[in-house]
Each structure stands twice: as structure tokens, then as C-alpha cells.
Structure 1
Amino acid sequence: MTAPLLLFGGKGGVGKTTLAAATAWRLAEEGARVLLVSTDPAHSTADLLGADLADQPTRVQGPLWALEIDAAARARVYVDGILADAETSVSPEVMPALERHLALALQAPGTLEAALFDRICDLITDAGEGFDHVVFDTAPSGHTLRLLSLPDMLGSWVAGLRRQREKVTGLRSMWRNLAGHEPDTEDRVLTRLRERARCYRRVRERLQQDAAFRGVLTAERLPIEETARLLALLSELEIPVDRLYLNRLLPAGGDDPYLQARRARQADYETEIRRRFAGWPITRVELAAGDIHDRASLAELAASLAP
């Protein structure tokens, strides 16, 4: 039985987007209501589906919907939310410096990934309720590894920050009470931190209980090694893997020496892949004669995939 949440990942350029889209197409053809989510800013999913996609679900065809996450726009919304919260808890003298700091933070490493993960949190915990399956086409392996590690990392960070915030808020309230002032109103920053902590816990639970990861690789050395690292992390995070796709295999036939040598090399790598990843089903996907570039070619690929 196909999991409600499917996450496709692998080394850049191995065909994650195509296979994620083909899987979503196949599930929709079988009658399921499916949301295909792209986390890649290259807009490949929109090009493949021939659809104008935005950050909200757009119907592609029948019960198939799709969206592309705009991490930069999400980061901007996130920073604007912080500024709005700060207006109730930070003195006016400090606000200009805070605004400058947050403007720089938009360009800092990790900001877009954090914004991306927040959007994925929303999709996993909220939007997914209206669909039978949500299929995520994730970024290349390195980004995927960091993304899947974020619930633990951000959860611990938020918990620590929340404790510090509670101490500061408690002391401030105590001194205000001693001075005879009215108690503080709700701390919006603390409220936001608590909500994020709850969200991260829910996401981790859903990833462990309702998700399945599908790795995509080609019969080459680097994709094999990246897949091994990815599977090791997924095991550590207790996120199940239900299938690997061995993509772009050369079909049999022909006596061209170059193609014969390439097929022999791929056969050697396939033997290694089946030995090293023996615990998971492996679907062979042969290299198509033409590009998978539109709905017709995508539907043809989808029909060829194992259920």
C-alpha cells in the first residue's frame, strides 16, 4: 500500500523530478487525489507538467494537483512575522538594528532552508489532509539530508530559546508586579516558538508513521555513494524507505562498441547496487528514446512504473 507521504530524493541530475511527477501521475490515474510538491527552485516540475505553478495547489489534470514552494517568498513572510512580533516586545530604539539584522539574515546560509522546511511543515500537517497522497520532489541529496535533519536540530534550538524566553518573560513580569504595574500581555514571540516546537514534533511523527522515502539513482559511482549516505541517515531518523529507482539504464540491443561497454559497466554497477541495497525493492527504469518533457511522455513513463 502506498504511503500518504512520498519523498523522492537522490543526487542532483538523476531524474528525481521526472520520477516523482510520474509517480504522482500514476496515483492520480488510479483515482487517488494527489498533490505533487516541488522544493526545487528550478521550476522543472512546472515545465514538465506544462502548468503555471505557484506556492498554493494548482489543479493540473483530474485529481492531480501541484505546487512549487517559493522559499525566498516564504523567508520574507517569516521575517515580516518576526518583525511584527518584535514590535510588541522590543523597544523602538532597538527596532532599526533588528530590521537591519533580519535584512542580512535573508541572505544568510540556512535561511531559505528553514523557510522551506516551515512550508513543508504546513503541507504535511495541514494541506495533506485534503489529499490521499502528497508527493515531494526534494532538492539534491545534500539539501535533503539537511532538510530531514531539521526537525531535530530546529526542535532542540527552539526548545532552548523558548526556555530562555520564558525565564526573561517571567523575570520581567515579576518586576512589573512588584512595581505595581499591570501584567504583560501575551508574549507573541514565545507563542510563535511554542507553535513551531509543536509543529516540528508533529512533522517528525508523520514522517515516521505516514511517510516513505523513494531514492533515485543511476548506475554510476557517485549516485551509489550518495544513496548509501542518504539511506543511513533515513535509518537513523527512523523514516522508512519503500523503494529505489535505478534510472536511465541502457536498453539491450545493438552492437556499437561504446554502447556495449556502457551496458557492461552499468551491469556491474547494478550488481553492486542490488548487493548493497538488498533490503529494498529496486525498480529498473530504462533510458527513453526521447525526452520526458510533456504530459504525454510523462503519462507513458508513469504507465511503465511498478505500482
Structure 2
Amino acid sequence: MTPARTVTLVGGKGGVGKTTTAAALASAHAAAGARTLLVSTDPAHSTGDLLQARLGDEPTEVAPSLWAVEIDAEATADAHVERVRADARRLVGPEIRATVDRHLDLAKRGAGTLESAILDRLAALLVDDAARYDRVVVDTAPTGHTLRLLAMPELLRGWVGGLVRQRERVRGLDRSLANLTGDDAPPDDPVVERLRARADRLTALRRRIHEDAVIHLVCVPERLPIEETVRAEAALREADLRIGAIVVNQVLPDDAEGAFLAARREQQGVHLADIDRRLGHRQVVHVPQLPHDVRGPDDLAAIRAALAAAGLPADPQAP
């Protein structure tokens, strides 16, 4: 039997209920006694509002056996850039420091910098702190961002490896010149050490995502979210990542009354049949439309019940 996956990622188009699904899965794990961490990587954080808790960049216990964290990508990016700035000040002459500072200030808010910062924080939570939690549930950003994020460990690992090789060539030249002049060899390079450490963490993060994570895709019974979910499922399958269930939120119950609701239910029936036709090779879970917004932990109970009725958060045992 395939070992249980202890990391769950919840993805999908914006506004389809990823946060409520992730929070319901995490709370179910915690209720079963597993030490569970709920992580939000979405810059538009709403996990704290849903759990009615003040969350930050460090895990906060919000219920028995349940911790939650909202990754602060900007703060992580700032800290990373400042470390690079400190290294640069030791390595470059004063005549170009102002230019380096300008480039680093511009880099702080670049999309790649923020995504890299999220990845670094995820590595800290999923790799460095792996022993602290039995289960981790990650509420991801909208689909495109999530797919880029899942591809980044491999991309960044190659990029960092290139930097290490380039830096080592420069250091090798420095050592050769030092030997020719009879000077002492230069000390070990802290930049190379830091780059190697980062490459190792990215390798470990990639391994954990590929070997220990399952990805549930969330959608609603509407045409555009379905199309995005179909594309995401194909991209994840191509990346050889483990896909779990297709969670369909906001399904109207059969006893919803009125001509308008009857028409909407009929339209949803068409979309639900489309989901079964195109994604039925996956487990498809229907979560009913609630009579009001999900406002807090008590409302999550209804979402948990619907997921539990379909067997979630059980671990899928087949690819």
C-alpha cells in the first residue's frame, strides 16, 4: 500500500472556496488528534478571518492540535534582499554599491522575488519544521500562481546551482592569484555556503512535494472554473504530482425551492455532468451551497461533514 501523504495542497481558481476547503480539511485532521499546520500562501489572506484568529508569519495555535500561519511574502523577501545586500557590501567596491542598492530595492517587489520568498518560507515550514507536525494543509494562491510555485523548486535549484558554479570559478581564480603572489589563500566564501544551503533546501522541498504531498483541486459548477480545473489537472499530471479529489463547491441542494433556484440547479446539473465526463477519472466530491456565508469555525462543521461523507480527508492510495 502506498504510504499516507502527510501534506495536502488545496488549489483552484480564485473565489471557488479553496480557503474553506483547506480549513475544513485541516480542522478534520486536528479533530482526529493529528498535530496539524494550516498554511496560507495566498497574498489575499482570509484564513485568519475564517478562523476568527489573528494570524501572522509564525504558526499560531487556533484550536487543539491546530496551528495556522499566513505567509508574509513581502517580509520574507525583504529579509532575503537585506541578506544579499549585506553580502554585496562585503564583496563589491564602494563605487558600485549605490547601483547595487538600487537594483536590490527594485527586486524586492518583483513577482519572482515574492514567489521565491514564499518558497523559502514553505521550505522552512515543510522541511525545517517537518518533525513538529503530523499533517500540513496548504491553502494556495489562484491556479496560475500555484502552478508556477510548484515548478519553482526545480527552476530555482538550477539557477542557484549555476550561481554556485560561477562563484566557485571566481574564487578559484582568486586562490590561483593568491598562490602566485605568495599571499594566504582567501577564506571560505559565505556566499557559496549560503547558496549551497539554499539549493539543498530546495531539493528537500521538491522531494517532499513530489513524495509526500497530494493536491486537491477546488472548483464550482460554472464553465470558467471547470475549464481552469481541467487545465490544472493536466498540468499537475504532466508534472508527475499526486492529484487527489476534485472538490465541487456551492452545489445547490435538491430541496432548494423556487423557479429561479430550479433553473440554477438545472444549469448546475449540466456543469456537474461535464465535470464527471472530463474529470470523472478522479474522485469528485460535491459540497452543498450553504444558506449563508461561511463565517467562522462553527460553519466549517458543515463543510467538514460534506467532505467526510465523501471520505475526505482520507489519503488517496493511487496516482
Please give the TM-score of this superposition, normalised by the length of structure 1: 0.96
Deviates more, 1:103-112 or 1:279-288: 103-112
Query: Tell me, what secondary structure is at the counterpart of 1:94?
Result: helix
The answer as to 2:152 corresponding to 1:158 is: no
| Superposition map of 1:32-111 within 5 A | 32-111=34-113
Q: Does 1:257 align with 2:255?
A: no
* Matched residue type, 1:253: D
| Residues 98, 257 of structure 1: alpha-carbon distance in 2 compared, 3 angstrom cutoff | same
Identity %: 46
Query: How many residues are aligned here?
Result: 307
Q: Does 1:20 pair with 2:30?
A: no
Match of 2:187 among 185, 188, 192: 185
> Match of 1:248, SS?
strand
Identify the range of structure 1 (268-277 vs 136-145) with the bigger mean alpha-carbon deviation: 268-277
State the SS of the aligned residue for 1:14: coil
CA–CA separation in structure 2 for the residues paired with 1:56 and 1:164: 35
Counterpart for residue 173 of structure 2: 171
Q: Whole-Å Cα distance in 2 between the matches of residues 223 and 189 of structure 1? A: 44
Paired residues for 1:95-244 under 5 Å: 95-244=97-246
Q: Match of 1:304, SS?
A: helix
CA contact (8 A) 2:7 2:135 kept: yes
On the 8 A contact 2:59/2:67 being kept in 1, the answer is: yes
Distance 1:214 1:85 in 2: 40
Shift of residue 301, structure 1, vs aligned partner: 2.2
Aligned-partner residue type, residue 290 of structure 2: A
Look up the match of 1:298: 300
> Which one-letter code corresponds to 1:258 in the other structure?
F
Matches for 1:257-276 after TM superposition, within 5 Å: 257-276=259-278
Q: Distance in 1 between matches of 2:81 and 2:96?
A: 16
Deviation at 1:151, TM superposition (A): 1.2
Distance 2:229 2:179 in 1: 58
CA distance, structure 1, for counterparts of residue 46 and residue 103 of structure 2: 33
Instruction: Give the letter for the 1:171 counterpart.
Output: L
Q: How does the TM-score come out when normalised to structure 2?
A: 0.92
**3-state DSSP of counterpart to 1:279:** coil
The Cα shift of 1:130 comes to: 0.7
In structure 1, distance between residues paired with 2:305 and 2:280: 25
Give unmatched runs, 5+ long, in structure 1: none
In structure 2, what is the Cα distance between the partners aligned to 1:125 and 1:27? Answer: 20
Structure 1 runs of 4+ off > 4 angstroms? none
Letter matched to residue 185 of structure 2 = P
1:109-134 per-position Cα deviation (integer Å, ceiling 9, x unaligned): 32111111111111110223211101
1:288 to 2:290 alignment:
yes
Instruction: Report the residue type matching 2:18 in the other structure.
Output: K
Partner amino acid for 2:42? D
The residue type equivalent to 2:50 in the other structure is: L
Kindly indicate whether the alpha-carbon contact (under 8 Å) linking 1:26 and 1:299 is maintained by their aligned counterparts in 2.
Answer: no
Do residues 7 (structure 1) and 21 (structure 2) align? no
Instruction: Indicate conservation of the 8 Å contact 1:245/1:284, yes or no.
Output: yes
Q: What is the CA–CA distance in structure 2 between the aligned matches of 1:238 and 1:126, rounded to whole Å?
A: 24
Residue 37 of structure 1 aligns to a residue whose secondary structure is: strand
The one-letter code sitting in structure 2 at the alignment partner of 1:198 is D
Aligned AA for 1:139?
Answer: A
Shift of residue 273 of structure 1? 0.8
User: Aligned partner of 2:294: which letter?
Assistant: I
Larger deviation, residues 15-24 vs 92-101: 92-101
Between the aligned partners of 2:41 and 2:298, the Cα distance in structure 1 is 23
Output the CA distance in 1 between the equivalents of 2:256 and 2:283: 29
2:316 is matched with which residue?
none
Worse overlay, 278-287 or 11-20: 278-287
Deviation, 1:143, is 0.6
Q: Is 2:280 the counterpart of 1:278?
A: yes
Q: 1:22-78: per-residue Cα shift (whole Å, max 9, x none)?
A: 110111111111000011232310001111111111000100000100000000000
Cα deviation code 1:108-165 (max 9, x no counterpart): 2321111111111111102232111010000000110111110121112112222111
1:255 deviates by 5.0
CA RMSD of aligned residues (A): 1.4
Query: 1:283 aligns to what SS in structure 2?
Result: strand
